[in-house]
Structure 1
Amino acid sequence: MSPLIPCIIAGGAGTRLWPVSREAMPKPFMRLPDGESLLQKTFVRATALKDVGRLLTVTNREVLFRTLDDYRPLNKTQLELDFILEPFGRNTAPAIAAAALHVNQHYGADAQLLVLPADHLINDLQAFAAAVARARQLAEQGWLVTFGIEPSHAETGFGYIEKGLGLHGESFQVSRFVEKPDAATAQCYVDGGQHLWNAGMFCMRADVILRELRKFAPQVVNAVERCLEQSHHRQGQREVQVELDRDSFALAPDISIDYAVMERSKEVAVVPCQLGWSDIGSWQAVRELSPADVHGNQCNGETVLHDVRNCYIDSRQRLVGGIGLDNLIIIDTPDALLIADGKRSQEVKLIAQELKRLGHDAYRLHRTVNRPWGTYTVLEEGPRFKIKRIEVKPGASLSLQRHHHRSEHWIVVSGMARVTSGEDEFLLDTNESTFIKPGRPHRLSNPGVIDLVIIEVQSGEYLGEDDIVRFNDIYGRAPAAPGST
């Protein structure tokens, strides 16, 4: 059989799970009650399949290092990793086109691509492996195979797949894809037994999906081909990175693979399955992962409740008191609080959309922001000042940079810092400090074996994260690209 290459698609902002999921730290990185992220769970089930020699991930360039941090503790067999790095999302059709072109060129036209969203939960890994095995048999025959979840109830938040002619192995040709239905239609689908939930997972040969893309969406595959020709390729030890060219990728149509190909092709098959699947698409879906107490409440964090029923409360850092509440969702993060009617959890995305329209940072960033070298947390800010807690991993280094409009005062809280300031380079120990004037080239590094923690006090007329000029960076970030340290 053809080689199997799982392709994890990690895109989207997960706006229905705001304020935990944000553009710069989207849903795949959310930690579940067992401490693993959705991305890590996807990695585990993909790499546990038979005959997997490498893994391909399509994700945003800005979250590459967080992705590597999630993969690293799980990749005990040193599986080879390929990354296609998008400058921004253009939906699933361009992402899958890029994956198929990459696989076709480097690993053979007959290689099978197993496309897996990074933000779904599957509890029955044995059933998942069996479904993939069935899908691979169909893909070998030239089918574009999708996975249909046997519906357990009438769900209006999912698309559906209608079964057509039967194929071998209890699989079916797809009769049609159906948009998210109203409640009455969804109940008819469940009662009729001919419809499955659309899980958004696919198995197909690289040459077959490229053939169908050229037939039904040539503008997508042509644009992505041109983009790949102009993109930067980087190869290291057991790792390949393809950084898609921003200008040419912007020319690719923003369209899903369902609209572009699956709803139009006659070569689509579906494998019905029961996987213990959830798309974790809302806070209602998240709350179903935890058992409720005798009053129907699910609480993460410290709470004091009186006459409170059927509520989901997640507040890891602050005590929550509640009186006389019923069926509310309360999500507390250091910089944002969500209070929603439990029956309207799908509408949380409207809050995120409005924040984005307003240009509010709470759409894009948390107070703690991940960077390749570690994290920074904004502790306090006001006119002309900002205070950050910066944590640098052992052996890591910020870029050599300068700022035009702000000065920085660094105080070491723990660990040892190596500081470059102009022509000078020196070490700072715990409780020692230094001052960086505006316009002065500087760099902060951690030469030690424990985390370096510093407090940074910024002062100046303008404190935006785009006031930065990079001269040198070990993580390959563009020298003059806007962004934070």
Structure 2
Amino acid sequence: MAAKIVPVIMAGGKGTRLWPLSRSTAPKQFLQFLGDHSLFQKTLQRVSDPELYEPAVIVTNAEFRFIVAEQAQVVGARLSSILLEPVARNTAPALAAAAFVVARDHGEDAIIQVLASDHEIDANEIYRDCIRLARDTAQAGMLVTFGITPTEPATGYGYIEIGEELAGGARTVARFVEKPNREKAEALLATGRYLWNSGMFMLPIRLFLTDLATFEPEVHARALAAVKASRRDLDFERLDAAAFSEAPDISVDYAVFERTAHAAVVPSSFPWSDLGSWDSVWAVGEKDADGNVVGQKASVSDTRNSLVLSRDIHVSVHGLDDIAVIASEDAVYVGRLADSQNVGQIVKALARNEATRSLTEVHPTSYKPWGSVASVLSGERFEVKRLSIAPGRKISLQRHFHRSEHWVVVKGTAEVTLGEETRLLNENESVYVPQGVTHRLANPGKIPLELIEVQTGSYLSDDDTVRLDDEFGRL
């Protein structure tokens, strides 16, 4: 009997390769580039079939815990656990901890599918066939990775050399190859024996943990200790910081796959991209007759083979070819689409300069457990923000010693607490929150509550917030 698969989704990365939309505190897996859902939400939807999958385990960090929970709720995803890493320790310790959690909750005979949360995949029938083959191969006693059929001599991926054929069509792994230069990539493709390393796996728990204990006993021991000493925090499970921080910083490829005698690969021809650069976003996007991928807040004329996206302002592009124009609320990137792999160099330069460092770290829109807040305008002694509060959610009961606030309801109904008084505000109504007064804002309605908040005072930073009561444990 075919076992159900427990998905393990790795969602803790802080990449900035798709700057200026992605930042270290707003990575690409949680952003909507093309379409109505984030890459993380699309990943959840790919593992939603209850006939094939158990509820998913999410591995992330404390900083992203609320956006993970919120985005999962929006798409109605079933979750088994949201596992919080106290520190970043590469993929081997993170995956080991997830494996121990699955073994605890589902038994050591379980099969896990390890997925990145920021890949774009066409989950067509070929994809589903590959998933079933990988599951069957894992049940037969192999540690399985997915090798993508190359479409070009890409230098941004590692490669897998295929070996002997196994039952059903999987292959043994002859060897792994690090990311090659262009010349070497062309030579690898010419042999017809190499696949791109996708970083996705299908693993029988017992075999994976046995091999891990053999090759990296410290990773095994520290991950197990971190799970045994973990604690519940609302809907999350926090790994023990002391134990997990002592785990070696090593990838699962180096820790297990390059050393095991049980490595197998499923050759996979379904459309796949890790969306590691703007040219890869263009490649998977829906193009017009001139080869352009254009967002809703953008327009083009006499322009070909270009990518134009804007989060806020409308952007118009004329008379260009092979160009990426990406506009966030506070920064714009313009460059040759073919050179977009070099965005990382720009980000590093910005990060070295104190005046521009925040552009690589903090996004104008930040996500909270109750919704989101976006900076609209700021100046000396004032700041204007746009707040969105999800139905049934509320901010903490709080007060500020150095600022006052004005709230204007744009959409929905607000339940406002000022001192001992609580009242409702409807659209186009406003309220003044004096400095030092205890206050709270809640959304009692069925639609998102949107407000404009104007802060005024001598000190406007978040550390002037004193929380007296909070349903998310942030006192």
TM-score w.r.t. the length of structure 2 is 0.91
Aligned to 2:469: 472
Q: Deviations over 1:371-421 (max 9, x none)?
A: 121221211111222111222222211012233443323333444333333
4+ runs of 1 displaced by more than 6 Å? none
Q: 2:446 aligns with which of 438, 449, 463?
A: 449
Q: Distance in 2 between matches of 1:182 and 1:189?
A: 11
Q: Distance in 1 between matches of 2:201 and 2:299?
A: 46
Are 2:224 and 1:230 aligned? no
Q: What amino acid is the match of 1:52? A: Y
Query: 1:332-411, aligned counterparts within 5 Å?
Result: 332-358=327-353, 360-411=357-408
Q: Distance in 2 between matches of 1:432 and 1:297?
A: 44
Are 2:136 and 1:137 aligned? yes
| Partner SS for 1:203 | strand
Aligned to 1:483: none
What value does the CA root-mean-square deviation take over the aligned residues? 2.5
Q: Distance in 2 between matches of 1:294 and 1:23?
A: 35
Deviation at 1:234, TM superposition (A): 5.1
Q: Distance in 2 between matches of 1:264 and 1:177?
A: 10
| Partner SS for 1:466 | helix
Runs (5+) with no aligned partner, structure 2: none
Are 2:278 and 1:283 aligned? yes
Is the CA contact 1:139–1:205 (under 8 Å) kept in the aligned structure 2? Answer: yes
Query: 1:188-337, aligned counterparts within 5 Å?
Result: 188-233=187-232, 241-301=236-296, 308-315=303-310, 317-337=312-332
| Partner SS for 2:464 | coil
Q: 1:437 aligns with which of 435, 443, 449?
A: 435
Identity between Structure 1 and Structure 2 (%): 40
Aligned to 2:184: 185
Is the CA contact 1:145–1:202 (under 8 Å) kept in the aligned structure 2? Answer: yes
Is the CA contact 1:421–1:441 (under 8 Å) kept in the aligned structure 2? Answer: yes
Q: What amino acid is the match of 1:197? A: W
Q: Deviations over 1:330-367 (max 9, x none)?
A: 10111110112222211112233344444633223322
Q: Deviations over 1:123-155 (max 9, x none)?
A: 143212211222122212321111111112211
Q: Decide which moves more: 251-260 or 274-283.
A: 251-260
Q: What amino acid is the match of 1:176? A: R
Q: Decide which moves more: 360-369 or 151-160.
A: 360-369
Is the CA contact 1:144–1:269 (under 8 Å) kept in the aligned structure 2? Answer: yes
Q: Distance in 2 between matches of 1:296 and 1:134?
A: 36
Q: Deviations over 1:221-241 (max 9, x none)?
A: 322223223322257xxxx63
Deviation at 1:193, TM superposition (A): 1.2
Is the CA contact 2:279–2:340 (under 8 Å) kept in the aligned structure 1? Answer: yes
Q: What amino acid is the match of 2:193? A: Q
Q: Decide which moves more: 147-156 or 343-352.
A: 343-352
Deviation at 1:80, TM superposition (A): 4.8
Aligned to 2:30: 29
Q: Number of paired residues?
A: 471
Is the CA contact 2:297–2:309 (under 8 Å) kept in the aligned structure 1? Answer: no
Is the CA contact 1:97–1:220 (under 8 Å) kept in the aligned structure 2? Answer: yes
Q: Distance in 1 between matches of 2:149 and 2:393?
A: 47
Q: Distance in 1 between matches of 2:164 and 2:150?
A: 19
TM-score w.r.t. the length of structure 1 is 0.89
Q: Deviations over 1:60-96 (max 9, x none)?
A: 3333333333333543xx7453211234533211221
Aligned to 1:39: 40
Q: Deviations over 1:452-476 (max 9, x none)?
A: 3332222233322333332321123
Aligned to 1:89: 88
| Partner SS for 2:24 | coil
Q: Deviations over 1:184-209 (max 9, x none)?
A: 11111111011110011111111221
Aligned to 2:102: 103
Q: Distance in 1 between matches of 2:296 and 2:79?
A: 39
Q: Distance in 1 between matches of 2:288 and 2:128?
A: 34
Q: Distance in 2 between matches of 1:272 and 1:18?
A: 32
Q: Cα–Cα, structure 1 residues 157 and 57, in superposed 2: closer, same or farther, change >3 Å?
A: same
| Partner SS for 1:288 | helix
Aligned to 1:117: 116
Q: Distance in 2 between matches of 1:142 and 1:60?
A: 31
Is the CA contact 2:391–2:447 (under 8 Å) kept in the aligned structure 1? Answer: yes
Q: What amino acid is the match of 1:395? A: G
Runs (5+) with no aligned partner, structure 1: 480-485
Q: Distance in 1 between matches of 2:454 and 2:28?
A: 31
Q: Cα–Cα, structure 1 residues 182 and 292, in superposed 2: closer, same or farther, change >3 Å?
A: same
Q: Cα–Cα, structure 1 residues 274 and 446, in superposed 2: closer, same or farther, change >3 Å?
A: same
| Partner SS for 2:463 | coil
